[in-house]
Amino acid sequence: METSTDTGTETLSDHLEDAYEVVVVGGGAAGLNGALMLARSRRTVVVLDAGEPRNAPADGVHGLLGHDGIKPAELLATGRGEVRRYGGHVVRAAVDAVHRDGDGSGAGFVVALADGRTVRARRILVATGLVDDLPDLPGLRERWGHDVVHCPYCHGWEVRDQAIGVLATGPMSVHQALLFRQLSDDVVYFTDDRDLAPGQAGQLAAVGVQVKEGRVTGLEAGGLRLADGALVAREAVVVAPRMRVRADFLAPLGLRPVEHPSGAGDHLPTDQAGQTPVPGVYAAGNVTDPSAQVGAAAAAGAWAGARINAELVMAAATVTS
């Protein structure tokens, strides 16, 4: 492995073998923890990391026991080092497609990379996470992850006691307003010309959340600008992005995302251990659970890794006549 000290970030350059027992697609908390479990079980495993972590804009990871406030890049760098300590590989690579292996055995997969290389695997763990599709509102994207947030457990403490505006951008927006009200006495819900569902106005009123009607045209340094020209002063803004999984590369297997029951985006459905409807393909983290924080994503990756190892053990122990 080579490292670069001038930027403080690693250059992921582990040698990529032709085949592994397990290929992990995605180098976030779920993928790295899954790979860690597999490497510690003496499985040959590689993590293919496209280098696009969802939480890159965030100042820190919160609610993670023993690591609260750690920089996202630092957490991932530590995880990569742990995987490598047990012989796992971590390679910077984007995946174009995953196919069934055409050697006739039906026992594995071929992973095609964006740079033209291929690698074979007996099992696949998908941990590519999500893309946050943000509302198309001037001034919002530049502040995303700082004073524009979405999760009270990830960033709520950091905006406590501030003047908070919650923008109606999704089916969970009222729920967000109720949660952020726990952190500040000054919360305003902006309808952005959307109607409240029956009972929601009463819920907001019951906890003291003000409701501001009218279309929001942009975010400015001082607050939210309305279509009538008024500027409502707010120090922090809460939005609900639509969460879209990174899983197009699974289409050749007939595995495609479906709408999540929350209505907040799509996901890959799995069982409790991460098994997708395609045998041999597992998924963990935000790609299957949009609400999972870093700790939950890592735990799901660990559990999926253990399940994959156990499955390979049982496959080797199967006696055929």
Q: pLDDT digit string (tens) for 232-260?
A: 999 999 999 988 999 999 999 999 999 98
At 320, the amino acid letter reads T
Strand order across the beta sheet in which 187-190 lies: 148-149, 236-238, 164-167, 187-190, 210-212
Place of tokens 């597999």: 38
Identify whether the C-beta of residue 31 lies closer than 8 Å to the C-beta of residue 285: yes
Whole-model pTM: value is 0.90
Identify whether the C-beta of residue 120 lies closer than 8 Å to the C-beta of residue 22: no
Q: What is the pLDDT of residue 10?
A: 52
> Do 166 and 123 belong to one domain?
no
- Counting residues of the chain whose pLDDT is more than 70, the rounded percentage is 93
Nearest C-alpha neighbor of 119 from the set 20, 261, 4, 266: 20
Question: Which residue range is the domain that position 168 belongs to?
Answer: 135-238
CATH number of the domain within which 206 lies: 3.50.50.60
State whether residue 246 is helix, strand or coil. Answer: coil
> Do 226 and 285 belong to one domain?
no
Buried b (16+ CB within 10 A) or exposed e, 262-294: eebbbbbebeeebbbebebbbbbbbbbbbebbb
Which of 183, 206, 238 finishes a domain?
238
Residue 153: pLDDT over 90: yes
**Tally of structural domains, the chain:** 2
Q: How, if at all, do strands 148-149 and 130-133 pair?
A: unpaired
Which of 238, 271, 301 finishes a domain?
238
Work out the pLDDT band at 263, boundaries 50, 70, 90.
Answer: confident
> Do 23 and 106 belong to one domain?
yes
> Do 104 and 164 belong to one domain?
no
> Do 6 and 114 belong to one domain?
yes
> Do 141 and 216 belong to one domain?
yes
> Do 59 and 96 belong to one domain?
yes
